[in-house]
A = this chain, B = another copy of it.
Amino acid sequence: MESLREVGYRLTPQRMLIIAIIHDSKGHVTAEDVHTRVTEQYPFVDISTVYRTLQLLKKLHLVNETDLGGGRVEYELAQEARHHHLVCRRCGATSPLDDEMIDPLRARLLEKHGFRADMEHFAIFGVCRTCADKGQKG
């Protein structure tokens, strides 16, 4: 919470509120979600401030940003245990995916291309088992 100041950023009431809200949120929130909750306590905060703060927290790797295809980007506290999401194009269901599933790819990219891939919080689109079964596709 004080970490912002340690890295040379100013600790404003807006930022404190936004950070607290992100911490209190279970799972993903949109910028609009955050803005709604911020203005309950501090009515004059502009949504652009929320967006700018989220960008800052993302840059500092304190939050992850992901587009799960819902029309608005989602944010989440950067967890200890990295995870990702599978998103079904048919039914819209999302299920979490352990980072171990994609870690081999990260290793391969580093080994073969010298590329240090972030892959902090991926959304992988496709068709879930349930929908594939329904479609009799094999």
Task: Output the least CB separation between A88 and chain B (Å).
Answer: 8
A124 near B117: Cβ-Cβ < 8 Å: yes
Task: Output the least CB separation between A55 and chain B (Å).
Answer: 13
B132 near A126: Cβ-Cβ < 8 Å: no
A104 near B104: Cβ-Cβ < 8 Å: yes
Task: Kindly state whether residue A51 has any CB partner on chain B within 8 Å.
Answer: no
Enumerate chain B residues within 8 angstroms of A95, measured Cβ to Cβ. 113
Report which residue of A112, A117, A126 has the largest number of chain B beta carbons within 10 angstroms of its beta carbon.
Answer: A126
Which of B116, B118, B124 meets A132, CB within 8 Å?
A: B116
- Interface SS of chain A: mixed
Q: Complex: how many Å from CA A42 to CA B118?
A: 43
B101 near A104: Cβ-Cβ < 8 Å: no
Q: Chain A interface: which size bin?
A: 20 to 34
Interface hits, A83-98 → B, CB 8 Å? 86, 88-89, 95, 97
Report which residue of A86, A102, A115 has the largest number of chain B beta carbons within 10 angstroms of its beta carbon.
Answer: A115
Enumerate chain B residues within 8 angstroms of A115, measured Cβ to Cβ. 86, 88, 124, 126-129
Rank and list the top 8 A-B pairs by shortest CB-CB distance, nearest first.
A114-B129, A117-B126, A116-B127, A118-B126, A116-B126, A86-B115, A118-B125, A117-B124
Give A residues with C-beta under 8 Å from B. Answer: 86, 88-89, 95, 97, 101-102, 104-105, 108-109, 112-119, 124-129, 132
